[in-house]
Structure 1
Amino acid sequence: MKFINKLLVLGFALLFMPLAAAQAPTLSAVEAAEQSITQLLKRVEELRPYFESDQERYYAGIQEEVGRFVDFSQVATGVMARFSEDATDEQIEAFGEKLRATLTRFYGSALVEYGGQELNYMPPRNPPEDPEAPTNVRMQIVSDGTRIELQYALFLNENREWKLRNLYVGGINLRRQYHTQFAALMARHNNDIDAVIEAWQ
């Protein structure tokens, strides 16, 4: 169970691997993901020595990568779900920034533990007819014979950049998991969105 939990953490950490801009029409979402994940792993390798000696420098590098590919407004809106209808644009942006900060540190720590596990990219089960339509990129992490599947929910933004808005790890919907936490905090704080954002960890 401990090993499986470690793989889950690694899977969540891979949420923050960059997805290349879809400016080249010959580049599929899978190809963009594979290319960019390789680039981030190289960056993590460069930053790893600073995790012990200068963590702020390490996390700043990870957060720089995060800003390239995760649409935190989309993530925040998805996590808030129905509560986003009562939120202002400023609150959604503030929650997105809170997610950026907290998740960068949590999953940045997990990336330090990445030890070269095998990553296999798989074809989509139901590929959309339009290559630029939102799609899920599927991959497996393989370590010591154990396999866990990840699915990245991607879309092209108005700048024709692939952005990530959700992740599934071993069938677990990350956005749904965080929505459960957000809803519980809303109940605890009498539906005060500002208080929930402040309390989010």
Structure 2
Amino acid sequence: MIYPGAEEYLPDTRDVPALAAAARTCRGCDLYKAAGRTVFGAGPESARILLVGEQPGDQEDRAGEPFVGPAGYLLDKALEQAGIDRESVYTTNAVKHFRFDRSANGRRRIHKRPSGGQIAACRPWLLAELEAIRPEVVVCLGASAAQALLGTGFKLTEHRGEVLRLPDEFRENGDPAVVVTIHPSAVLRARSGRDDALRSLVGDLRRAAASTRGK
């Protein structure tokens, strides 16, 4: 489905608090109708590293903050093992509203991957965040985040851990290095080999940190 998109809701400024306030009024796609709140990015505007995931989850939707649920706690652990100060990075999602299905009894909200149309509709917010933060490195956590910035045909399995660049059409928002890795939730879902999955995520985060000028 094609949505009108977020472009008309963007303010003129690229100040993060102003962007976050404007995003709360966004009707660029239909996800705002069911989600509890808009979950914008968080972190210092001087961040060298920007982490982008797919969408907020149930706990993020309730709290109004990114990466505060189980995947967020695992991300904190991975960042610590990678030697990256959690407070120094900016975290956000490709989509700012939680998409979900209800469980059979209606009590639980179950994550549902956002559609390509919803990701495209929300992309102006992500690009505005890139313009505001001007990070040296963007870490795409999972395929949806990677495809939001690198194209719908991008395959995480073929380029995971490589140091890439944004497409030319997005360079006006800065020219950070881009590293693609798995989403922390993929580590949580691993029934076997969870330790190996965590180690590989940590390795990718270290590679991202090594791509900053401060390393």
TM-score normalized by the length of structure 2? 0.28
Q: Larger C-alpha radius of gyration, 1 or 2?
A: 1
Bigger fraction of residues in helix: 1
TM-score normalized by the length of structure 1? 0.29
